[in-house]
Amino acid sequence: MKTRVAIVGAGPAGFFAAQAIFAKDETTTVDFFEKLPTPWGLVRSGVAPDHPKIRTVSKVFEKILDDPRCRYFGNVEIGKDFSISQLQEKYDAVIFASGADIGRKLGIPGEELMGVHSAAEFVPWYNAHPDFADFKVDLSGTHAIVIGAGNVAMDVGRLLAVTPDELASTDIADHALEALRKSSIRKTMIVARRGPEHAAFTSPELRDLLDLEHTDVLVNAELVQQAIDRTQTWEEIPKDVRQNLEAFQNLSSIVPQDRDRELSINFLLAPIEILGDTKVSGVRFSINKIEGAEVIPTGETVDHPADIVISAVGYTSAALDGLPVINGKIRNIEGRITDSDNNHISGMYVVGWAKRGPSGVIGTNKNDAALVVERMFEDLATVPSRGTEFTPEIGFVDLAGWRKINESEIARGESSGRPRVKFPTYEELLSTARS
Ligand code: NAP
C-alpha cells in the first residue's frame, strides 16, 4: 500500500518537505492543506515586493504542485474545517508546515496606542494577504520608527523610505501602493537595541541600501568603527558579522545628498515606552552601551518622534487545533512532534518556522525539511501503511483554481508592466478560482 502524507501549510517549508518526499520515494503521495486559497506562504505574503529575485523559488513550488503525486486543497483551515485527528486517521503521516505568523510583542507601555503596529500586520498588508485587506495604516505623519535589527525590520523600513515610483513596477498590493503614494513619511529610523556586530540583518540586504536613489541612508560611522574595534578582540569573527560590518562601513561613508527622504539605522537604543496620548507621538529609548560581552543600559534615555511605529522583533506560532506551542514553536524533538512526556506522537511531524522558530532564509528550510522527512520514512518503515483515499467535502480551492488565480493576477499586471496585480480579498480570490 502506498504511503499518504498530509502537509499542513503550503509555504516554503511544506514545499521543501514534499520535494524531499518525492525524491526519496516514488509512490508516496502528498496532499497539501492550506488555509489561504493561494499557496507559496511567505514567498507570496512575506518577501518584500522590491525583492522579486527571492520570489523566483515559486517556480520550484509550482513544479512540485504539477507532480501527479501531489494534490492541493486551498482555503481549508485545520481546526475549523477538519480536526487534526481526522487527518491522523486518513494519513500515514501529517507534517505541519504552518509557520509562525504572530508578531512578538515588545511588552512595553504604549504598545496599544493608535499608530503602533506589528510587522506581522504591516508586511502581509503590503503583500495583499486577504486577512489584512481592511488593515488601516496612517501614513499622514512625517516620522516612522521601525523597532528591530532583522531583515523584516529592513524590509519594512525600506518600503516606508523609498519613493512610491520605485515600488510601482512591483507586485505590491494596490491598496499599499496607493497609501504609500499619499504617505508623508520622510524620516524612517530602524532601531537596534544592540551594536552593529549583533545586528540580525544579512549583508546583501544592507548592500542593497547603497543603490537607493532617492533616499539618504544614514549610519553612524563612529559606532560602526567602535564595533569593528570590539570584534578585533574576538577569537574569531564570524563571516556574516564581518560582512555586515563591511556593509555598515560602506553605508556610513556615504555623504548624505540632502534628499527629501531619509532612512537611518540606529544602534544601542532599547525601546522602553511608546509615547502618546491616544495616538503614538514618539518612542522613549534607553541608551545602551557595550561592556565586554554585555549590552547594558547607560541609565540615560532619549525620545525620538514617531507618527507610526512598527515593531519587527520576531514571530511566534499560533496554537493549532490543540497542538502545544512552546517558546513560539510546536513542541518537537528534531521535527517529531512530542507530547508533554516528550514521547513522539506517532505520525506527527513539523518543519520550518513552526519547528525551529522564525529564523533563516527561505533556502534554510530545504535541508531542515529533508532531515525531518528522512526521520519520517525511518519511522514509517516500522509500521504498516494505513492511509486511505481522502477528499475533503468542502469548498476547497484545488490546483486548477489556484492556477486561475495565478494566471489572472499575472494578466492583470501585464498592461502596467508589473509581475502581477494580486487579488487582495477572499471574495476576489475565491470567485476567480471558481470562475
Ligand atoms: P530576526 O532576524 O530574529 O530579528 C529580530 C530582531 O528583533 C533582532 O534584531 C532582535 O534583537 C530584535 N528584538 C527582539 N526583541 C526586541 C525587543 N524587545 N526590543 C528591541 N529589539 C528586539 O527576525 P525577523 O527580522 O523577524 O526575521 C525572521 C527571519 O526571516 C530571519 O531569519 C530573517 O533573516 C528572515 N528574513 C529574510 C529576508 C531576506 O532574506 N531578504 C527577509 C525577511 C526576513 P536582538 O538580537 O538584540 O534580540
Q: 366-383 pLDDT, tens per residue?
A: 999 999 999 999 999 998
Question: Does the Cβ of 194 fall within 6 Å of ligand 1?
Answer: yes
Average of per-residue pLDDT across 278-304: 97
Q: Can you tell me which residue has the cell 495604516? A: 137
Question: Does the Cβ of 153 fall within 6 Å of ligand 1?
Answer: yes
Q: What is the mean pLDDT of the chain?
A: 96
Sequence-ordered list of residues with C-beta below 8 angstroms from that of 322, at least 6 positions apart, any chain:
79, 84
Q: What is the largest CA-CA distance in the chain?
A: 70
* φ and ψ of 307, to 5 deg: -100, -20
* Model confidence pLDDT, tens digit, residues 221-237: 999 999 999 999 999 99
Whether residue 396 is predicted with pLDDT greater than 70 in this model: the reply is yes
Taking CA atoms, 39 is separated from 26, 64, 370, 406, in Å, by 23, 12, 20, 10
* φ and ψ of 124, to 5 deg: -65, -25
Contact 271, 106 (CB under 8 A): yes
- Residue of the nearest CA to atom 31 in ligand 1? 359
- Residue of the nearest CA to atom 1 in ligand 1? 150
Q: How far apart are CA 191 and CA 214, in angstroms?
A: 21
Confidence label for 393 from pLDDT (cuts 50, 70 and 90): low
Task: Count CB atoms within 10 A of the CB of residue 250.
Answer: 15
Average of per-residue pLDDT across 101-112: 97
* Model confidence pLDDT, tens digit, residues 145-180: 999 999 999 999 999 999 999 999 999 999 999 999
Q: How far apart are CA 98 and CA 208, in angstroms?
A: 30
**Distance from residue 49's CA to the centre of ligand 1 (Å):** 19
Confidence label for 385 from pLDDT (cuts 50, 70 and 90): confident
* φ and ψ of 246, to 5 deg: -60, -45
Report which of 211, 192, 190 is spatially closest to residue 200, judged by C-alpha positions: 192
> Which of 126, 152, 207, 273 gets mutated to test ligand 1 (max ligand atoms within 8 A of its CB)?
152
* Model confidence pLDDT, tens digit, residues 24-64: 999 999 999 999 999 999 999 999 999 999 999 999 999 99
Average of per-residue pLDDT across 292-317: 96
Whether residue 363 is predicted with pLDDT greater than 70 in this model: the reply is yes
**Distance from residue 152's CA to the centre of ligand 1 (Å):** 6
Average of per-residue pLDDT across 355-363: 94
Average of per-residue pLDDT across 313-337: 92
Sequence-ordered list of residues with C-beta below 8 angstroms from that of 341, at least 6 positions apart, any chain:
none
- pTM for this entry: 0.96
What number of residues does the chain have?
Answer: 435
Beta strand pairing status for 332-333 and 329-330? unpaired
pLDDT for residue 378: 96
**Distance from residue 114's CA to the centre of ligand 1 (Å):** 23
Q: Which amino acid is present at 356?
A: R
Task: Count CB atoms within 10 A of the CB of residue 276.
Answer: 18
**Distance from residue 199's CA to the centre of ligand 1 (Å):** 8
- Residue of the nearest CA to atom 9 in ligand 1? 149
Whether residue 418 is predicted with pLDDT greater than 90 in this model: the reply is yes
**Distance from residue 148's CA to the centre of ligand 1 (Å):** 6
> Which of 193, 243, 315 gets mutated to test ligand 1 (max ligand atoms within 8 A of its CB)?
193
**Distance from residue 172's CA to the centre of ligand 1 (Å):** 22
